[in-house]
Structure 1
């Protein structure tokens, strides 16, 4: 049965002074009793992060790391690149990734935008940092047709990752993904706004879930009928490279909160961090940015992401959700021009040497940072913090998972 929630008035953006005041109250999360009623029943945590989108520079980094570690298949090891978020992701009771591209064969060929085909080795690294399940509905899901969908899902299966959003059979599409998380039945749904102009096959209209409120409502009902006590929606929506959610995003979020019983909405696609907001009783993460990617023209914002951290606690048969966030950053080496003899100029002292995904607060604890690194990391943290709170979420208890170190 749909749980109706009252629709709150749209919050105004915080003024700079109010934002500073909100940020000043954020402390290291060590006592979880400061939000909501105490003495609850069952409880579990969820970590969810931004888009995984593998560009050519990241493939080359995996080859470089594979030579050093001797790990990974076919000379590619994505593990060192992803390792920086393992301390956060691995602690969650349920960790959700958004796997955006199509998987290719271990030796390639590989492709980048506009029709991604990425090394299957990345899925082992995703599992290795602690992810349990991935959403697979995105605008790139149909880049290589049914064969690409099947190969991607087969590869996720082989890595030990659950998945939903795209499907190999109609039966799979009608079977909700319901997981046991510390004794709680938790369902994950995954939907996308469209597929870059590609149409769903007429003989396989169930191949990928496409955004539609009635379809989402139906999927939630199917999950509840399958025993789900909590339902989490991963949704691909919004405008690329816009830190503010679009008007259609805001409207759709309110309809999801008001007209469904979904307990948490996790947004993707913008490739930059967008705010979180509590609408009625439902937390909406409009966009978690990129977990790992390397766009052709990095903007600073495209390297930044966020891990949403959500604590679910049961009180008298109802679930309350406390929201936190952990800023992340993909450290990228500078581009060096070719010297003309086929070689590339050597990196200068203090320059980033390798592509690395970092938990920003943890990285800032290092005493070995250059002034340039420290300034870049602080900027990423503070910018993410400001974005997270710019729709008034501080009043609903949104805080960083880890404080900005002094």
Structure 2
């Protein structure tokens, strides 16, 4: 059982301190980055998109993913650069669609990613090779059609060697994307070893060097790593973060894959977000943690030529899910209660709590739990003393 009835409205952005001041604070050039976790549209979320398009009359080929993700738009769209992690493989507009283990999702998702405000997505994940070269090509073609930039998987060798560099308020910002590996039985095609980026320090250093040589002033690494469903980063993650800090010039590390929030940590001057949790996903057995995620907000300010200070903050999110009839003791015959969600909706947790009208005490408590648990997890490697703070205080 989850929460939040249909009366919950998006909180107004103006006057509520949703996005930190983008002012210069005495430095040189500056820009902001928003980054969040895995976008993984399970079959239940595709069913919700079918349901929503009947209401909205919008969408393409009977699917509208917009209402599910609309409530994070006030945050994502305000960033100078917004980075998503697009984990699954795209299929054709009318399907068939598949869930775990070999994901194949509607290309319509890419349009919603763009509409929410994302500029670019990492595409290197353990699912990148689920449908081989054809799946990689469909995925990147769909992102291109939606106007979303991407890196981490590639259609040609030339594409794999061409850095993704974006002009962000006059600063050349590169994104690179790597995954720890790929799910069996899928392996890299011998004739296309460049199809997706696999994690190694040497490969990441080489990608950063290509970006720097192409003019990048800032390099952001998106990395798919760690153990699923573990809020604590592994020893391998912690060790590799230190290698990145000591042996590369990368300016920010954004981690995904665990499907739950993991800590942030400043390592020898490098901010590492070990795991952003899910941006939106619906696992077969929701744990509470898998519905919680975080949007990281990073303000870059230049202090002297080529030196960038990064000030991090965060906004907790939560996917509300309807009751699972399979797990109901009465076989799902009971009527909805006021505490039950009717639809899948991705919530900005502080915004939801600000708009308390119509929320029950249990609903408020669940939202507060999401905020406090996310905050505690993010802080548990000492990030608070290094300046990590909420974008919006707990109402």
TM-score (norm 1): 0.89
Equivalent residues in 2 for 1:26-175, closer than 5 Å: 38-175=25-162
Structure 2 residue 263 is matched with structure 1 residue 263? no
The 3-state SS of whatever aligns with 2:325 is coil
Please state how far the C-alpha of 1:348 moved relative to its aligned partner.
2.7
1:328/1:358 contact within 8 Å kept:
yes
Match of 2:290 in 1: 302
Match of 1:293 in 2: 281
Aligned equivalents of 2:232, 2:327: Cα separation in 1: 38
The 3-state SS of whatever aligns with 1:73 is coil
Match of 2:382 in 1: 392
Structure 2 residue 337 is matched with structure 1 residue 348? yes
Match of 2:318 in 1: 329
2:33/2:297 contact within 8 Å kept:
yes
Aligned equivalents of 2:167, 2:335: Cα separation in 1: 50
Aligned equivalents of 2:125, 2:84: Cα separation in 1: 12
2:228/2:260 contact within 8 Å kept:
yes
Equivalent residues in 2 for 1:244-259, closer than 5 Å: 244-259=232-247
Aligned equivalents of 1:31, 1:92: Cα separation in 2: 11
Match of 1:274 in 2: 262
Which digits, 9 at most, give the CA deviation of each residue in 1:67-86, with x for residues without a partner?
A: 00011101110000000100
Aligned equivalents of 2:231, 2:337: Cα separation in 1: 33
Match of 1:224 in 2: 212
The 3-state SS of whatever aligns with 1:46 is strand
Aligned-residue Cα RMSD (Å) equals 1.7
1:337/1:345 contact within 8 Å kept:
no
Aligned equivalents of 1:343, 1:147: Cα separation in 2: 40
Structure 2 residue 203 is matched with structure 1 residue 215? yes
TM-score (norm 2): 0.92
Please state how far the C-alpha of 1:347 moved relative to its aligned partner.
2.2
Match of 1:358 in 2: 347
Please state how far the C-alpha of 1:345 moved relative to its aligned partner.
5.0
Aligned equivalents of 2:332, 2:233: Cα separation in 1: 43
